[in-house]
Structure 1
């Protein structure tokens, strides 16, 4: 399979690297020093599931019209999807599948603003990983998994075959029965990232202090209530399951949004807690914990983008 991976950070490099290791023709779009290091020295992935190295690696710095793919994995930050979508028109043909793996619940809709709906899948991934140094990825938490499907939840031959491709590449994958429900369930969990940023704390610290643990519980509950208001199915007891899931994370771990805020970089704040606040307003629902966290970080986010 010819695969184009847009973004070679902790997500794109890990899953793309596994697919390349399995023998697929993988090309990474990566810029700057990280892309140059991959081009020169290959890609090194340090993983709790076993390290691996790829050398040589196919790396390009931009999306060109001469690049065609059976599958495009979109692994950039959520706020970069719209820009990428407009560029992808040059490489998408009749049969290309475009699979976004962003945090949040908006990526597929944003891709469809520029691409034919038939080309766009919906998906999410589970992994805690980051760029450790130029050309080096560290995967240090959570079993790597991709959950995806057609945006209308139809069970097509192409998603069944793609699921087999992913599983054969050495990471878990499944076709969702209800991909919107799966996206929202991950969305609930990731929105705690901004609480970590506000408190300048790790997952372990936030879950251990009773006061911040209660904030985390209320944050999750607000989003689960919003999902139900929007007719997205969230099963009873899911908030408790999410709390238990957070309890399995390495004590010292954080998220990419958290690290971006701390480092003064643009983050996915608008696509996480900002989206909660905006959708809740439209639905006439009060989400005080998410609103407090979002507003607390908004000035920092605006400064980072300036």
Structure 2
């Protein structure tokens, strides 16, 4: 496949490297010194599942240089999705697939509103990875997994072709029976831990070791579950229990990207995570007091990072 990785961070860098390793024609969209290093030295992947150097690596900051694109994996930050969608619009051909692997529950809706539904599949990923240095991606935890599917859950020729591509790249994948359920399950997981980690400035293991904070995590998850149900998402009743089993299996020192961004004074995905739950709760008359507390406590720092007065 001719694949574009839009955003070569921990997520895009990992999956792009594995797809390139399998022989796909992969172009990495990056910028600044990260881009320069990839162009000069390649993209270095460090992983318990095997290191790999993509060299030479196709890398650019301008997607208009890429022709005949079969698949775009959007791996930026959630607040960039609308802007990225506008950039993608002119380069799409009749058969280009676009999948967001970002955190959040409605990225596909934002993309669809710009480029139209026919190009868009639902998607998400599961991985703990980050940019260690310019041109270096470090995968540190979790079996990297891509979950995807048509928004109407049909098993079309294109999703079956993508399934084959991921299988050949030895990437763990799931062709979803209900993509909305899968998106919200991941959303419940990541929103339960990320902003609370930023608020406490604590690693995941430290939060779990505190009965008070762990109880806050539980109540955060319960509110997200209630909002999902009010929106008609078919989440199983044991969703919270299963996500906590995963949370408790992660390394003690685990931190989420939102947490790291806020602690570093950078713009974060706060609005896409707890902020969205607060907004949906207000719209649906579902109380979300814990998410309210987390969101509004962190909002001044978020506004400062975004230079919002």
Which bin holds the TM-score, normalised by the shorter protein? over 0.9
Q: Deviations over 1:77-122 (max 9, x none)?
A: 0110000000101111110000111100111111111112111111
The aligned residue for residue 121 of structure 1 is: 121
Q: Which structure 1 segments of 5+ residues have no match? A: none
Q: Deviations over 1:268-292 (max 9, x none)?
A: 0000000000001000010111110
Q: Deviations over 1:139-182 (max 9, x none)?
A: 00110000010111111111012012112102101110000010
Q: Which structure 2 segments of 5+ residues have no match? A: none
RMSD (CA atoms):
0.9
In structure 2, what is the Cα distance between the partners aligned to 1:61 and 1:85? 15
- Could you list the runs of 4 or more consecutive aligned residues of structure 1 that deviate by over 4 angstroms after TM superposition? none
Query: When the two structures are superposed, what TM-score results if normalisation uses the length of structure 1?
Result: 0.98
1:152 aligns with 2:165: no
The aligned residue for residue 47 of structure 1 is: 47
- Structural mapping, 1:83-162, within 5 Å: 83-162=83-162
Q: Deviations over 1:25-50 (max 9, x none)?
A: 00011001111111111111110111
Whether the 8 Å CA contact 1:65–1:90 is kept in 2: the answer is no
- Structural mapping, 1:1-306, within 5 Å: 1-64=1-64, 66-191=66-191, 192-306=193-307
In structure 1, what is the Cα distance between the partners aligned to 2:135 and 2:65? 26
3-state secondary structure, aligned to 2:123:
strand
3-state secondary structure, aligned to 1:11:
helix
How many pairs does the alignment contain? 306
Query: When the two structures are superposed, what TM-score results if normalisation uses the length of structure 2?
Result: 0.97
Note the C-alpha offset of 1:68: 3.0
Whether the 8 Å CA contact 1:65–1:91 is kept in 2: the answer is no
3-state secondary structure, aligned to 2:91:
coil
In structure 1, what is the Cα distance between the partners aligned to 2:66 and 2:235? 43
Residues 1:38 and 1:124: Cα distance change in structure 2 (over 3 Å): same
Note the C-alpha offset of 1:65: 5.8
Note the C-alpha offset of 1:67: 3.1
